[in-house]
Amino acid sequence: MSATPSRSYYLWNIGCQMNKADAWRLADALHQRGYRQIRAPDQAELMILNTCVVRQSAEDKVLGRLLSLKPYASEKGRDLLVMGCFVDDPQALRERYPFVAGFFAPSDLDGVLRHVDRRGNAQPSNTAESFSGRVAEMVPLSYGCDHHCTYCLVQLRRGAQRSRSIAEIRADCADLVARGAREITLLGQNVDAYGQDLPDATDLADVLEAVHEIPELVRIRFLTSHPRDLSLRLIETAARLPKVCESWELPVQSGDDLVLKRMGRGYTAEHYRELVEAIRTAMPQAAINTDMIVGFPGETLEQYERSLAMVRDLRFNAVHIAPYSERPGTAATVWEDDISSVEKELRYSEMDQLQTAIATERSAAFVDQEVEVLAETRQKGRWRGRTRGNQIVFFESREHCLGKLVRLRITWAGPWSMVGEFAGLIDSPSSAP
């Protein structure tokens, strides 16, 4: 049996931005209780897995990790806790994996912390040391989702949409800004449907207005949008508020109307193209990212080529491409998963190559241009930050840049990141790219 330092934890996280935000909150809460994060699970008193099952490949990784921790989880004084979308039926999971001390629903941080507190080993630490002081933070707007995309397990695992009140969201943002955050990303499975479950008919535009008022906050982002719910009012509000970055995550999933209908997405390819046009008219610098699924059941070559044509025409900044993965319990399982894995892979790589070429061209246009970057971290002697359009930029400067807006002249640009030359600190944000 290996030594187990008291109040240490190992946290493994996989999946969407919401999971990442949950992992950060959990880490903060554990540090407040005197726990310290370590990399070696065999040394940790608490082992926590925050899981994703959106595709079979993610579920396989979760299972691999879970089983690899079994020998340590069975040792006295150590607890393995599992949270996230892997957790559908806790009772059945307890029977299948008796070495796991607790299963918790997605985002059930309170449940995990109650378990930790019951173990009674916590010791409050100096709050000032408890938070990592992230410059770019994330705050959930809502949990769950009310759409029923036929391929998606998220709705089944995360449940119906529960929007938080604007007062609660604003308070969380103000608190993080008071601790050093300068950028906040507002998160939800479908941020454009925010408030539809609240009695007072507030929407995301109202949240943006409220958060925008926080002094010292310099940037706001939000994700993920849904083409069925994205309103012109939101586009207009985002374009008008200077702190809101010109950056959109607007998954389309397919460029073919029949496939979209069978996916249960609730819009046409034409409507999607109109939304992109509306965003680009209101925000000429807008960076738009999308998600595409290739090889959906029954997707013909012609239908796939409509997706490819959309990628070619709309010239997205990034496309997250996923080969269709059949998920037990979803409506799409009534159709045979009939596109072979070889064909899915061919469609995936063709689209990926096209998008890499587009991203390379888009990035190249930045060379010799000045951009505004928020410095978020320091890595291997260089600062790392992002533009308003979400491109990663590395730069050198002897100034203390953390949490500051800087002007950089881009000297090198690849498809996924750029390098810039420091050209000075910025007092107040602009709407530069």
> Coil, strand or helix: which one is 331?
helix
| Residue 168, C-beta contacts closer than 8 angstroms, at least 6 positions apart | none
Strands 405-413, 417-425: pairing is: antiparallel
- Provide, rounded to whole angstroms, the least separation between the CB of residue 338 and ligand SAM: 14
Find all residues with CB under 8 Å of 317, minimum gap 6, and list them: 287, 288, 289, 359, 362, 389, 390, 391
- Closest approach, Cβ 182 to ligand SAM, in A, equals 26
Give me the least distance between CB of 302 and ligand SAM, in Å please: 20
Residue 163 CB contacts under 8 Å (≥ 6 apart), including other chains = 141, 142, 188, 194, 195, 196, 197, 198
Tell me, what amino acid is at 150? Answer: T
- Whose Cβ is closer to ligand SAM: residue 151's or residue 395's? 151
Pairwise CA distance, residues 242 & 258, whole Å = 39
Closer to ligand SAM by Cβ: residue 10 or 194: 194
Strands 136-140 and 247-249, bridge-based pairing: unpaired
Smallest separation, CB 56 to ligand SAM (Å)? 8
Shortest gap between Cβ of 151 and ligand SAM (angstroms)? 4
- Compare residues 13 and 189 and give the one whose CB is closer to ligand SAM: 189
Nearer to ligand SAM, 183 or 249 (CB): 249
Cβ 18 to ligand SAM shortest distance, Å: 8
As a whole number of angstroms, the distance between CA 221 and CA 183 comes to 8
What's 369-408 look like in SS3? CEEEEEEEEEECCEEEEEECCCCEEEEECCCCCCCCEEEE
Closer to ligand SAM at the Cβ: 157 or 219? 157
Is 73:49 a contact under the CB 8 Å cutoff? no
Q: Which is nearer to ligand SAM, 49 or 154 (CB)?
A: 154
CB of 224: closest distance to ligand SAM in angstroms? 4
What tokens were used for 183? 């950028």
Rounded Cα gap, residues 311 and 5, in angstroms: 51
Instruction: Rank residues 142 and 363 by Cβ distance to ligand SAM and give the closer one.
Output: 142
Could you list the residues that contact ligand SAM (CB under 6 A)? Answer: 16, 54-55, 151-152, 154, 189-190, 224, 226, 251, 253, 291, 293, 322, 324-325, 327
Which C-beta is closer to ligand SAM: that of 203 or that of 376?
203
- Least distance from ligand SAM to the Cβ atom of residue 325, Å: 4
CA 162, CA 196: separation in Å to the nearest integer? 9
